Amino acid sequence: MSEVLTRVEGRTGLLSLNRPRAIHALTLDMVRAMTVALLAWRDDPAVGAVMIDHAVDPAGDPKLSRGFCAGGDINLLRQSALSDGGALGRRFFYEEYQLNHLIFAYGGGEDGKPVVAFMDGITMGGGVGISGPAGLRVATENTRLAMPESGIGLFPDVGGGWYLSRLAGRLGQYLALTGARLDGAECVWAGLATHYLPAQSLSEAKARIIAGEAPEAVFNALSVTPPAPALADHAADIARLFASDRLEDILAALEEDSGAFAARTLATIRTKSPTTCKVALRQLATSLTLPDFAANMAMEYRIGSRVLMLPDFAEGVRAVIVDKDNAPAWSPPRPEQVTEAMLDAIFAPLSALEEWKPL
């Protein structure tokens, strides 16, 4: 069975992720299959819209249908870092980022073909990469969105620098450092989702779009008012505590705050890789200075090419995914040991032949 189901129904191209036992985590073959389909549909007048969702387990097991996309193929990346000098990992990043940019170009509406992403269930890492650039992003009561990369020695890539840096009130910095999960209501509140539908309405929404109705009109008709976003209660705290682009300043602000929210947040960040926390803060600050999404992706590819080979990545994946002892030994272990020179080397341009380019 194909790991991505691609088809055209009516005037709608459909991409359904189909690795249910891995919560539809993206492989290189999946990235390539989606790219091929999108390129074929881009100039096809018979395709007027694109929908991205996840396939439902044919046996009806809810445990195998609990997520949109749990991320990228982390084990592939780790094995590449350990065995081939990161060559395959860099190839994965390169083509994945081209897919992200291709969806962004569609989602911008320049060619008049809206892209809809149904973020029903777990939507993390690479799942944000293929939903974030869509012009229409549907959350449900099942949505759990996060960019948890700092916990495995990575950074919020796949366009995370672009999306997170543009959220209000330093929310992006909070999400990048903590890996906090947002539910569907919080995604709408933050601007990471455009619509909120009950999960039971998704089948009707898809059928109406396939039948020829405009996607946004369908969502406007079927959307409901989401619950109150719990994280909104801490928006002022986040804006104040994460005001700096220096990790040391953020940690100091959290240490000085006597509130329970600050204490929980501080404890969470203390478990993350100091190097990639600092990378993420610079990534978000730099993204705001860039002219377009393509420039952001070129920056993230430079970072990814280097971070992939740092010791924290292999160690983070070992601790969280392989051995599951959740006790990574970060190197260096303290934020003050991660110097500006180290960050400069991670962000430096690649050679002309190595630099990332869009399709």
Contact 358, 104 (CB under 8 A): no
Task: Report the pLDDT value the prediction gives residue 60, as an integer from 0 to 100.
Answer: 66
Residue with tokens 């730099």: 286
pLDDT in tens, 284-295: 999 999 999 999
pLDDT in tens, 8-31: 999 999 999 999 989 999 999 999
pLDDT at 222: 98
Among residues 13, 67, 71, 72, the one annotated as catalytic is 72
* Per-domain boundaries in the chain: 4-347
* Token pair in block for residue 104: 């962004």
Of residues 149, 237, 300, 315, which has the active-site annotation? 149
Q: From residue 333, how far is each of 178, 312, 346 by CA, in Å?
A: 17, 10, 18
Please check the confidence at residue 263 and state whether its pLDDT lies above 50. yes
Catalytic residue chosen out of the listed positions 13, 67, 126, 129: 126
Q: CA–CA separation, 125 vs 128, rounded Å? A: 5
**Topology adopted by domain 4-347:** 2-enoyl-CoA Hydratase; Chain A, domain 1 (3.90.226)
Long-range contacts of 21-24 (CB under 8 A, 24+ apart): 21/64, 22/70, 23/66, 23/67, 23/69, 23/70, 23/121, 23/122, 24/54, 24/55, 24/67, 24/68, 24/69, 24/70, 24/127
User: Is residue 110's pLDDT more than 60?
Assistant: no
Determine the pLDDT at residue 109: 46
pLDDT at 159: 98
Which residue's entry shows tokens 């989702």?
A: 193
Residue type, 25: A
Query: Is 255 considered catalytic here?
Result: no
**CA 352 to CA 359: how far, in whole Å?**
16
What does the pLDDT read at residue 324? Answer: 95
Q: How many CB atoms within 10 Å of residue 226?
A: 22
Active-site pick, 53, 96, 120, 157: 157
Q: Judge whether 298 and 356 are in contact, CB under 8 Å.
A: yes
pLDDT band at 62 (very low <50, low <70, confident <90, very high): low
- Token pair in block for residue 12: 């709608």
Give the least confident one: 46-60, 239-253, 301-315: 46-60
157 is catalytic: yes
